[in-house]
Structure formats: structure tokens, C-alpha cells
Amino acid sequence: MTKRSVSIHVPALTRVEGEGSLRLRIEHGEIQELALDIFEPPRYFEKFLEGRRHHEVLDTVARICGICPIAYQMSAAQAIEQAFGLDPGPWVRDMRRVFYCGEWLQSHALHVHLLAAPDFLGFDSVVGMAARHPEVVRRGLRLQGLGNALIRLLGGRSVHPVGACVGGFFRAPDAAEVDDMLEQLRAALPDAHDLVLWAAALKLPQDEQAFTCVALRHDTDYPFEQGRIVSDDGLSVPIEQYEDHFIEEHRPHSTALFSLLHGAPYLVGPLARLNLNHDRLPAASLSLLRQTGMTFPSNNMFHSLLARTLEIHVAIVEAIRLLENYRRPVSPQVEVTPRAGIGCGATEAPRGLLWHRYELDDQGIVRAARIVPPTSQNQARIEADLRRSLRQFGLNRPDDKLRLRAETVIRNYDPCISCATHFLKIGVTRR
């Protein structure tokens, strides 16, 4: 074993959303220190939600994340409706799924092509990759654009959409808009199909490891906005019991809190969803998955990329199914009558389970709020993965290779923090 002492500091991770860095110190062939530092400045959303009326919450929480505002809006709407004892009915449920399909499409296509793929094809950024693989990049940008168009159908704009409200939507699209959207969705199916096969053929690192998956699970459907919280080690609880099983810890190097399930790290996101719900895939997506020859559940974390591409296919298939049965309702929203109470909401953001809890008074004013985003749930898992992946990769490899592998491992989780990679100032000390 080498005697060298290595210290790698990636001050700003690139191709991730938000601000994070990596500290790694290796001495005498052992990892002495490893930390994914999240220094995204806190903005205190949970505090300034207090005193706001229920109808301001969706426009507020959207601003937590520009890449997955719909996830925040949907978890919040569900929680507030639960507190008010309100059921918005099947039309709203279907359209929320369609809305969510748009976000998965947009976010997954962005991550696969602009953030992750350059790692596996050997480029620094999508710009370099576009020169050598123009068709792959163009296909990805088309799918991302389609996701944005689907969001606009119900939300008006793709970042911080304005269409959703507690009780439903402000506006129902007319039949002509839906037909036009359906045409675009159907035309994109071959792109999604080819994308999955392309991802399955990519040379991804083989890195099997044990981890616990957590996701929503619904009686019949692939989970977007409904279901119980389940894990692959036997947990199955209604969303209201989240706090009985999961706790958040605050560690010194992070402005994000670390979530633990029964005291241990766990995974949320596309791979966890697919591992726990592959029997809930729409028939067309399941048959496509079979065509790849890949089987799930998988314990290779790098299969997250494949799961993400398959979920792009799921989103298109699901949006087509729901929009084919589209009927314009008399009203796109049900009437909302505030009452004092507590409500929980949990939906599957592109990056995984997003849990909200609100306490409201009889005027519908928020008195307390709690929000647990996917990335804080994955943070402990990412660190655990880094420790073993780097050991498996070989701690005596050159610094730049170690750094790239570490960044690739981190990006594979699509962490929603903020960025940094290839030009990291790295400090290397050898003894």
C-alpha cells in the first residue's frame, strides 16, 4: 500500500444544481476524512411561510428550486388539502400527474444530457459533447423542450409555473391545446425509446453495493403524487408517519440537514423508485426495459442513469394515456374552505421523495411548516457511497482520476445543491 497522503478539495462541484464541494483526505492508503460540503446559503423558507395565507404557499415553495418547482407545489397542495379535508377529485389528480410528467421529462433530460452524460462519454461539458455526439445532444434537448412545453400547457411557464393552486388549477387547457400536445408527445416516443437503448448500451462503471431504497408506492400506478412510503427492507407506512421513522441531523459542514431512516443512510430518486416499483411500470415501458436486457432491482448505483431515461419514457407514455381521455371540466378547481389542522404531503420529485407538513389555523394561515427535500435525504447515502466507491476504484490512483470518479459518483445522484468539478483547485500533499 502506498504511503502517500492525499488531500483533495473540490471547492465547487460542477454540473450539479446548487453549491457544494468535496473534501477528501487519504493517509497511508486509508480515507481519513470525506465530506460533501453543502454551502448553499440557507434562505429560511420554513420560517417565512409562517404568517402566509394558504393560497400563497404554492408560489412561495416553488422558489425553493427552479428545476423542480412542480414537486414543491404538488407536495404543498396535497398537504394543505389534507389539512382542510379537501378532495380535489379525479380530474385534478390526473392533471397533476400530467403536470408532474412534464417536470420529470424536463429535469431528467437536463440531468442525463447536460450534467451526467459528459462524465461517461469523456467530456467536460455538453458543449464539447455536442460537437462529437450532435444527435445524442439534440435528442436530449428535444426531450427537455417537450417537458417544458408540457409544463406550460398547465402552468403557463416552465420555471415557477403559475397554473396550480390549492384545490386544482386556475385554468383548464382547451381541446385544441391538448390535441397539439398529444401530437408532440406521440412524436417523441421514438426519441425516448432510442434514449433508453442508448443509455443501456453506455459503458457505466460496475459498482455493486448494498443500500436501502425508499420511495412512494401506489396500489396500481408508477408513483408520482400518491402512495405509501415504502423501503426495500420492509417499511410501509402512510405518509403521515414519516416523522416516526426518519430523522434529520445537522452536521457542521452542511447547510442541508442529513436524513436517516432508523438511524441509517438511504436512497431516494429514480433508481430507488424503479427498484421498488418496476412492477408498476406502464406496459410499454416495461417491455422496453426487457428489451435492454437489464433487470431491476439493481444494486449498481450507476444504473440511476438508466432509471432516469426509463422514467422519461414513463412520463411520455403516462402523459399520453391521461391526455387521450381529456375532458374539459366545468371548473378546474374545487372550492377551498380553510379549517384549522395539520396536513402532510409527499410526492416523487425528479430527485426523489419530497415531504411537506403544514400546520394551518382556521383562517388558512400557515403557523408552522416543515419541508424535507430529496437531496438532504440522499446526502448521507452519497457520503457512504463515496467512501466505498473510491476504495473500490483504488485509492492509489492519480489525484485527477480520483477526483473525477468522486465527482461522477456525486453527480450520479443528481444532487440539487450547486456546483463544481473539473477545475477544482486541488491540494495534494504527499508524505
Instruction: Please report how close the Cβ of residue 327 comes to other proteins at its closest, in angstroms.
Output: 19
Q: 147 or 270, CB closer to other proteins?
A: 147
Q: Is 148 among the residues that bind other proteins (CB under 8 A)?
A: yes
8 A C-beta contact, residue 185 and residue 319: yes
Instruction: Please report how close the Cβ of residue 229 comes to other proteins at its closest, in angstroms.
Output: 23
Chosen residue from 106, 259, 277, 309 binding other proteins by CB under 8 A: 106
d(Cα 164, Cα 155) in Å, to the nearest integer?
7
Instruction: Please report how close the Cβ of residue 87 comes to other proteins at its closest, in angstroms.
Output: 22
Query: Which residue, 380, 401, 381, is CA-closest to 390?
Result: 401
How many amino acids of this chain bind other proteins (CB under 8 A)?
70
Query: Which residue, 91, 109, 227, 108, is CA-closest to 154?
Result: 91
Q: Is 170 among the residues that bind other proteins (CB under 8 A)?
A: yes
Instruction: Please report how close the Cβ of residue 313 comes to other proteins at its closest, in angstroms.
Output: 20
- Contact segment (CB under 8 A) with other proteins among 48-56, 177-185, 265-273, 314-322 equals 48-56
Q: Is 16 among the residues that bind other proteins (CB under 8 A)?
A: yes
Vertex 35, ends 32 and 37: CA angle to 5°?
Answer: 155
Chosen residue from 22, 26, 54, 69 binding other proteins by CB under 8 A: 69
Q: 269 or 415, CB closer to other proteins?
A: 415
Interface of this chain with other proteins, residues 171 to 190, rule: CB under 8 A: 171
- Contact segment (CB under 8 A) with other proteins among 126-134, 182-190, 202-210, 213-221 equals 126-134
> Residue 5 corresponds to which cell in the numbers above?
497522503
Chosen residue from 28, 66, 295, 430 binding other proteins by CB under 8 A: 66
Using CA atoms in the order 222, 136, 70, 308, what is the torsion angle rounded to 10 degrees?
30
HEC profile of 228-256: EEEECCCCEECHHHHHHHEEEECCCCECC
- Contact segment (CB under 8 A) with other proteins among 28-36, 204-212, 232-240, 414-422 equals 414-422
Q: 212 or 255, CB closer to other proteins?
A: 255
Instruction: Please report how close the Cβ of residue 124 comes to other proteins at its closest, in angstroms.
Output: 5
Which residue bears the cell 460540503?
A: 37
Using CA atoms in the order 76, 81, 82, 86, what is the torsion angle rounded to 10 degrees?
-170
Burial 127-149, CB ≥16 within 10 A → b, else e: eebbeebeebbebbbbbbbbbbb
